[in-house]
Amino acid sequence: MKNLKSIIAVAACSLVSVAAAQNLKSSYFTDAHLYRHEMNPAFGNDQGYVAMPALGNLNIGMNSNLRVDNILYNIDGRTALFLNPKVSTSEFLSGIHDKNKITENLKIQILGAGFKAFGGYNTIEINARQDLDLNIPGSLLRLAKEGIENKTYDISNLNAHASGYAELALGHSRQINDQLRIGAKLKVLLGIANLDANFKKAQLTLGENEWVGITDAEIQTSIKSMKYEIEETERGPEGAETTHRYVSGLDIDSWGISGFGLAFDLGAEYKLDKNWAFSASLLDLGYIGWNNNYVASTNGERQVSTDKYIFNVDEDASNSFENEADRLMEGLSALYELQDNGDMGSRSRALAATMNLGVQYTPDFYDKLSFGLLNSTRMAGKYSWTEFRLSANVAPTNIFSASANMALGTYGTSFGWLLNFHPNGFNLFVGMDHTLGKLAKQGVPLSGRANVNIGINFPFGH
């Protein structure tokens, strides 16, 4: 298999296969929603609660700034990838970005509870968390679609990050005075897996007489009981081939704890008067120290250049355009052959922090209605994003509350909503920050954005 083509195919498919989840931002200004403390630890509840195991706060979905219907097309009644020759190059290129971003922040609550004590409101959670970030340069997808042309393709900034860890979170919030409420959470983290892949430099110049490729890439992996899989292949001119050994995958014997860390959530809410309230929070301020760091790298810049490819317009010739193009791609694949450098020792990696800033207005004419504006910004270097969400929130009875909202940000626009049913002793909520819209045949939302959040909990006390 040709490594270069594999990279392009995997990167493209990633845009349509990622499942993502996050805190339900549509619930930020809905007082009766039990999990507002996930977005601001200063928020408390009027009642305690016990979550149904694994179903107290379940969220699944996807998030990308690239529409799925620009990657998958309906060709003669069948779903086809954009590489299909019946998809025009101009049609495909009109829908991709210079930087195509995907982010996933999955949190599955295994156990959770909240209760009043110690002069405030307290929460206990055990969560399984997973983070995934991808940056895919548009030039990589352009190269895949255009094929061999006399152009320079800068496919630097092809980056990926993935981590999985368990979290024990203890939260406390309390009223300082009539206007100010503050809160914090302490999180103990058990690292399971971490991977960072960075193509720091990757450039292909395809000219009339010479082809030149330069790359500088590195992968760092922290997983207990793993090693890199090694593959061998013969490359070079006929009769003078040399053996190439390179990393082709991961071999994981077993999963276990491979790191430890700490993190904090901090939050505050200030009620100016009966109409206006302001809030702010910083989430996931912390890090995980990983015990091992297995590195695969090009070990600096690697260059491949050649002028030995001579194309023949005769399709039946041994050096036809198709055959020579395949050999060229095979030669350029050497750019992406990473060497196994072994375990380079422990390392620490900061979590991606999130900042929430909110302002809420409750009109005099109906105090069960409020309007809110929330800004959420994820601070994660090259994987950062931001979003503004304007919402209308209503709680007409003691057993029902709802929210409807519109969002605009890094990943475009979306419509969100929440329905929250909370009679005595039972709480059921369902909501979406990004309404599904039209789906592909495989059930993937064509917009590239969606999430569904549902939870079942059992409140107690008053």
Which CATH number belongs to the domain containing residue 63 in this structure? 2.40.160
286 confidence band (pLDDT: 50, 70, 90): very high
What integer pLDDT is reported at residue 69 of this predicted model?
A: 72
Q: Are 299 and 219 in contact (CB under 8 A)?
A: no
Task: Answer positive or negative: Cα dihedral of 446, 36, 462, 400.
Answer: negative
Q: What is the structure's pLDDT at 24?
A: 87
Whether 273 maps to a domain, the answer reads yes
pLDDT tens digits, one per residue of 128-141: 998 888 888 888 77
Do residues 343 and 293 make contact, with C-beta atoms less than 8 angstroms apart? Answer: yes
pLDDT surpassing 70 at residue 315 = no
- The reply to whether 333 falls in a domain is no
Q: Domain for residue 329, yes or no?
A: no
Note the pLDDT tens digit of each residue in 432-452: 998 876 665 555 566 667 778
Q: pLDDT tier at 195 (50, 70, 90 boundaries)?
A: very high
Q: What is the mean pLDDT of residues 227-246?
A: 76
Calpha distance 200→444 (Å, rounded): 32
Q: What is the pLDDT of residue 19?
A: 41
pLDDT at 421: 96
CB contact set of 32 (below 8 Å; sequence gap of 6+): 395, 401, 420, 422
Q: Is 337 within the bounds of a domain?
A: no
Q: How confident is the model at residue 320 (pLDDT cuts 50, 70, 90)?
A: low
Domain that holds residue 172: 18-194+254-294+344-460
Give per-residue burial for 239-264: e unless 16+ CB within 10 Å, then b: eeeeeeebbbebeeeeeeebbebebb
Distance from C-alpha of 60 to C-alpha of 454, rounded to nearest angstrom? 9
Range from 2-6, 192-196, 261-265, 434-438 carrying the lowest mean pLDDT: 2-6
Contact (CB, 8 A) for 293 and 226: no
Q: How far apart are CA 315 and CA 259, in angstroms?
A: 56
The pLDDT of 356-379, averaged and rounded, is 96
318 near 396, Cβ under 8 Å? no
Q: Per-residue pLDDT for 7 more than 60?
A: no
Nearest to 131 by CA among 169, 165, 166, 163: 163
Residue 340 has pLDDT above 70, yes or no: yes
Beta bridge partners of 372: 360, 391
**Residue 100, in any domain of the structure:** yes
Q: How many domains does the chain have?
A: 1
- The CA distance from 207 to 112, in Å, is 60
**pLDDT at residue 9, as a whole number:** 46
What are the start-end ranges of the E strands in 298-439? 302-306, 339-343, 347-350, 353-361, 369-379, 385-397, 400-409, 412-421, 427-432
Query: Considering the domain boundaries, does residue 10 fall inside one?
Result: no
What are the residues whose beta carbons fall under 8 Å from the beta carbon of 175, sequence distance 6 or more?
Answer: 120, 181
**Which pLDDT value is given to residue 77?**
73
* DSSP line for 415-443: EEEEEEE--TT-EEEEEESS---SB-TTS
Q: Measure the CA–CA gap between 27 and 36, rounded to whole angstroms.
A: 7
H-helix or E-strand spanning residue 145: helix 138-146
In a domain, 121, yes or no: yes
Residues in Cβ contact with 370 at an 8 Å cutoff, skipping those fewer than 6 apart: 29, 360, 361, 362, 363, 392, 393, 394
Whether the predicted pLDDT of 148 surpasses 80? no
Statement: residue 124 has pLDDT above 80 = yes
Q: Provide the pLDDT for residue 303.
A: 78
Which band of pLDDT confidence, cut at 50, 70 and 90, is reported for residue 233?
Answer: confident
What's the one-letter identity of residue 417? W
How far is 420 from 28, CA to CA, in rounded Å? 13
Checking if the pLDDT of 278 tops 80, the result is yes
For residue 321, what are its two tokens? 């355009």
List pLDDT tens digits, range 80-107.
777 777 778 887 887 788 888 888 777 8
| Domain assignment present for 279 | yes
**pLDDT attached to residue 20:** 41
pTM, two decimals, is 0.84
- pLDDT band at residue 45 under the 50/70/90 scheme: very high
